[in-house]
Amino acid sequence: MISSSSLSKLGLGVILFSVLFTSEIKSESCGTFISSWDRPITLVDNWQFRKGDNLDWRDESVEESFWVKRSVPDYGISKTENLTGYHWYRCSFLLPENFTTPAEPIAIQLGRIRDIDEFYLNGTLIDKTGNVLPKLDVDFQKVRIYSLPTHLLKAGNNTIAIRIYAATNLNGLKVAPVLDKERKLRQNLFTSEIFPMVCGYVFIFMGIYFLVGSIVRGRTGENFFFALFSIFIGFYVLLRTQHRNILFESFTWSYVVELLVLICLPPFFLNFLHQYLKVKRNLVLLCYEVFLGILFIITFFFRTPKSWILVIALFNYALPVALGLASYLFLKHGRQNIIKLRYILIGLGCLLPTILIDSLSALEIISFPGTIFLGFLLFLVMISIQLSNDMVLGLQNFMSQEKDLIQMERVKTGFLLNLSSEFKSGMEKIYIAIDKISRPNKAPATKSKSKAAVKALSPTEIIKKAEDHISYMSYMVEEALLLKKLEDKTYQPKFETFNVSELILTCVESIENHLGQKRKNTSIEVKPASLEIHQPPELLFAIIRNLVENAYIYTNIQTEVSIEFYQKDGFDYLVVTDEGLGLSQIEMETIFQKFVRGYKETKSEIPGAGIGLTLVQATANFLGGSVTLKSAEGMGAKFTVKFPEKGKKI
């Protein structure tokens, strides 16, 4: 047990930490004198407040008889009056007589405001978020940071006025406004959201990983639904950050999508449990899914804060049904499957409290934002550990089977290991980029780091890097699905007329972005340069991507790579040549087989899935053509793909 003296020391430590931490922020009252912008200044006391609306209230001086004094934050539901509609806040600060223009731009951070606001400085409209007319357009998730134009700042008294329109009975300021250098305010905002943004991308990568694993291993049940669950959680987390402003121009649509994603999460998890435990779906689950389906459809047509509160309330009212179904499965099948469920139960124990806290925060009952990110992270990690253990046990069981089955399982395991390498590589690059942003002055650990790793990245470049890696993982998923359709003869081509040069350039740019290689010695020759063909573009893209990517990853960056495309005697020809390691005769005999890669140790260390050339051959055959390979050890490789000009021959 912890002694009372230990608790006292711990409490004293917390108090001292709080004092030291908060000493950097200077809390002041309205009317304060500001002599320096070296520290942030938080305006807490003596705010003037008034319900109603009059544009004259933006002026530097107003009749103060009907205004009341308030301290902020004062956000919530008023117990004495209905404040739905307009209400105003006013505050002033003093600058010295010898006031000079600040070296860096100054801004004010107002936090999140519900629902629409306009910000005035000395009677002039500076900026606003949302609109009341011609139609209601709200945004209650954006953190307001408004610049203070230096030409409007003056020696003596300066007045700020905030005009707020509340579409519901939730009103007021959630945080006390802060005056500081604009650069620091925006940097602090981004830094505060690094953790949830990293979590969002981790969840998406994790989902793609298990989605591909479900396709390769043929276990499309539990892995498939867990993958969807993880991917949707990733998007949900990203939408809960300022990342939504990058993904969507309209807050209304971003919030509708957020609600739609949230509605999908319980069915995905329940179906994951049913598939994982090999249990049939029951009538209660079907009715619950019908209810959520109806809620999903009507949410498309909801565009106002009041309707969104209704959706969240209905979702929360039905949430006990999902908890009851999950509890029923655990109680009925948990004892005989305790080994399979132990990590999932631990994850649920971490997640459920954060879901409750997040739901109450969404309804504005309490305010503990961000807790659900940690809950989701622990929950998904626990399930991943459980599924990974199941994979290991499955591989151990296969080892006792016949030799052919063992060999096939080893091949598939190799594919998953290669995929895991790609997953790990993408995560490491995202971590390096975000670490560089969060600690821009950190010196490189070694002299061998590339210039790309050392270069300071902007938030937009970080997001672009993450999206490039997600796009690459998506290519792998799409190509695995495409190969399966070609092998099952269920693929339905969509013929289009397109420019060959543009397609090749797009493909090469995608490969170079992913690999971080900007090769100057790659030649592209299309005859004629403006050649257009009528073929399924996704098939030709898959052929080019795999052949060119192999040429890049199996050669030194100084090696020449050549891409040619021309027509001759009624056929299209694609030729990809490199001067890399080359292949032996034995390798050439099996290189087009599924999951087979080069045998040399240097090649086994190169990332890849092992289905690229199989897909190239299957695609060429589908188009009525063929693919040939000429190579020798140390002499590079030349792939030639030939297919009829006007689609597949009959």
Confidence of residue 65 (pLDDT cuts 50, 70, 90): confident
Contact of 50 with 57, CB cutoff 8 Å: yes
User: Is the pLDDT reported for residue 75 higher than 80?
Assistant: yes
The encoded tokens of residue 502 equal: 């543009």
Same domain, yes or no, for 635 and 542?
Answer: yes
CATH of the domain at 622: 3.30.565.10
- Pick the residue with more confidence: 590 or 644? 644
Confidence of residue 396 (pLDDT cuts 50, 70, 90): low
For strands 178-181 and 156-166, give the pairing. unpaired
Residue 4: the pLDDT is 41
> Does a structural domain hold residue 413?
no
Residue 160: the pLDDT is 96
> Does a structural domain hold residue 403?
no
Final residue in a domain of this structure, among 390, 423, 452: 390
Element containing residue 424 per DSSP (H, E): helix 403-438
Same domain, yes or no, for 56 and 91?
Answer: yes
In this prediction the pTM is: 0.57
> Does a structural domain hold residue 423?
no
> Does a structural domain hold residue 80?
yes
Residue range 193-218: mean pLDDT, rounded: 83
Could you report the per-residue pLDDT of 219-267, keeping only the tens digit for each? 567 888 988 999 998 998 899 888 888 888 889 999 999 999 999 999 9
Same domain, yes or no, for 155 and 225?
Answer: no
Q: Which of 214-223, 503-512, 558-567, 639-648 has the lowest mean pLDDT?
A: 214-223
> Does a structural domain hold residue 9?
no
Residue 383: the pLDDT is 83
Confidence of residue 183 (pLDDT cuts 50, 70, 90): very high
Query: How far apart, in Å, do the first and last CA atoms of the chain sit?
Result: 82
Q: Locate all alpha helices (DSSP H) within 218-304, ordered by sequence.
A: 222-239, 244-247, 251-277, 283-299
Confidence of residue 424 (pLDDT cuts 50, 70, 90): low
Residue 438: the pLDDT is 59
> Does a structural domain hold residue 501?
yes
Residue range 395-410: mean pLDDT, rounded: 54
Same domain, yes or no, for 92 and 208?
Answer: no
CA distance 292 to 264: 8
Residue 103: the pLDDT is 85
CATH of the domain at 71: 2.60.120.260
- Pick the residue with more confidence: 443 or 331? 331
Residue 458: the pLDDT is 60
Same domain, yes or no, for 254 and 166?
Answer: no
Number of domains in the chain: 3
- To the nearest whole number, what is the mean pLDDT of the chain? 81
CA distance 129 to 258: 20
Could you report the per-residue pLDDT of 93-111, keeping only the tens digit for each? 999 998 888 889 999 999 9
Residue range 385-408: mean pLDDT, rounded: 60
3-state SS class at 142 = coil
Could you report the per-residue pLDDT of 127-169, keeping only the tens digit for each? 999 999 888 889 988 999 999 999 999 999 999 999 999 988 8
CA distance 322 to 324: 5
The encoded tokens of residue 401 equal: 């089977």
Single out the residue of 637, 630, 626 nearest to residue 578, CA to CA: 637
Contact of 113 with 173, CB cutoff 8 Å: yes
User: Is the pLDDT reported for residue 592 higher than 90?
Assistant: no
- Pick the residue with more confidence: 178 or 390? 178
Same domain, yes or no, for 41 and 165?
Answer: yes
Confidence of residue 9 (pLDDT cuts 50, 70, 90): very low
Same domain, yes or no, for 315 and 203?
Answer: yes
User: Is the pLDDT reported for residue 607 higher than 70?
Assistant: no
Single out the residue of 627, 625, 621 nearest to residue 643, CA to CA: 625
User: Is the pLDDT reported for residue 390 higher than 60?
Assistant: yes
Same domain, yes or no, for 258 and 366?
Answer: yes
Residue range 470-478: mean pLDDT, rounded: 72
Residue range 499-512: mean pLDDT, rounded: 90
Q: Which of 25-29, 44-48, 389-393, 607-611 has the lowest mean pLDDT?
A: 607-611
Residue 39 DSSP code = S
- Pick the residue with more confidence: 420 or 346? 346
Residue range 474-491: mean pLDDT, rounded: 82
Same domain, yes or no, for 519 and 564?
Answer: yes
Same domain, yes or no, for 373 and 513?
Answer: no
Same domain, yes or no, for 132 and 207?
Answer: no
Residue 294: the pLDDT is 96
For strands 106-112 and 178-181, give the pairing. antiparallel
Integer CA distances (angstroms), 395 to 113, 222, 416, 419, in order = 54, 17, 12, 17
Residue 7: the pLDDT is 36
Element containing residue 144 per DSSP (H, E): strand 143-148
Same domain, yes or no, for 120 and 242?
Answer: no
Final residue in a domain of this structure, among 390, 422, 447: 390
Residue range 37-44: mean pLDDT, rounded: 92
> Does a structural domain hold residue 94?
yes
What percent of the chain is predicted at pLDDT more than 70?
Answer: 77
> Does a structural domain hold residue 473?
no
Contact of 375 with 351, CB cutoff 8 Å: yes
3-state SS class at 303 = coil
Domain range for 41 is: 27-176
Nearest 5°: phi and psi at 292? -65, -30
Final residue in a domain of this structure, among 176, 202, 228: 176
Contact of 467 with 460, CB cutoff 8 Å: no
